[in-house]
Amino acid sequence: MLQDLIRQRTNGIVLYGITPPKAQNTPEKIAEIAATQVERIRSLGVDGLVLYDIQDEADRTSEARPFPFIETLDPVMYAAEHLASLDLPKITYRCTAKYSPESFTAYLQAQQQGLAVFVGAASRQQRVTLTMNDAYALRQQHSPGLLLGGVAIPERHLVKQDEHLRVVAKMAQGCSYFITQCVYNVEAAKTFLSDYYYHCREHGIDMVPIIFTITPCGSVKTLQFMKWLGISIPKWLENDLSHSVDILGDSLNACRSIFAELIEYAASKQIPIGCNVESVAIRKDEIEASLQLVRDVQAMLGR
């Protein structure tokens, strides 16, 4: 079970991440999408499925959003009602800032087991009805059996140099694992891992798994969207992908190279890491690329 792998701080956890269907879809279309996803994911052999809770991040930047924001189904509801036949642990994200304390408490009372990742506000400008600290306290009070994870953002570490301290603070509030934002800057990820390792070693803290997210990029517009989301892409790599005649293939190669380097670095210090292959595109070639990336990652980990 994924819960056991996390609690035992196991190295090499592999996850597959998706976004629930758009809420505007008809019930028939949602059922069709779910059936396709179940069939696609069932044979992957991953340890768990990640379901994102999408929020509009327009407050985070003044730049225009490359793709319009469209509300998606609630990940907890989608997992329970449409993916129940998929016998796989499901990690559901919860954007805490958009819930009231009452609605969040009701959610927790219905989630006595399982896995979740709490996500805070997208920016300081976003109106918040529930802080992360409040969400952690409510979880401890109403659903201590919910195995809690947090979000780590390696590129933020380049600027503020305190992401490892954020992670350790969240560990003290009950987080047993972390899933990163999509990584395209391996130097940022390694620097974060280094500070995390040495801080934990110095203070006698047992490290928890850091699960790095990687995802294929199939178009220049997707590349622009990734940058809009705050994903750090080195200029040389952005140039190469922007001018590539096979951007999807080249991005796959970049993802493989990044994770291979992270495996090597983490192994030298016995840091438990894993991989979350994110598939949030609707184009068939990008979806197929994400499935291939899962297989490649599993091979790298000797699975």
| pLDDT, tens only, 273-295 | 999 999 977 788 999 999 999 99
Residue 107 in tokens? 């959610």
What are 227-252's pLDDT values in tens digits?
A: 887 788 999 999 999 999 999 999 99
pLDDT of 27 reads: 94
pLDDT of 224 reads: 86
What are 134-164's pLDDT values in tens digits?
A: 999 999 999 999 999 999 999 888 888 999 9
> Which residues on adjacent β-strands are paired with residue 273?
210
Instruction: For residue 132, give Cα distances in angstroms to 55, 105, 173, 226.
Output: 15, 13, 10, 25
What are 213-233's pLDDT values in tens digits?
A: 999 998 998 898 888 877 889
Average pLDDT taken over every residue of the chain: 91
pLDDT of 143 reads: 95
Q: Taking the complete model, does pTM exceed 0.95, yes or no?
A: no
pLDDT bin (cut points 50, 70, 90) of residue 76 is very high
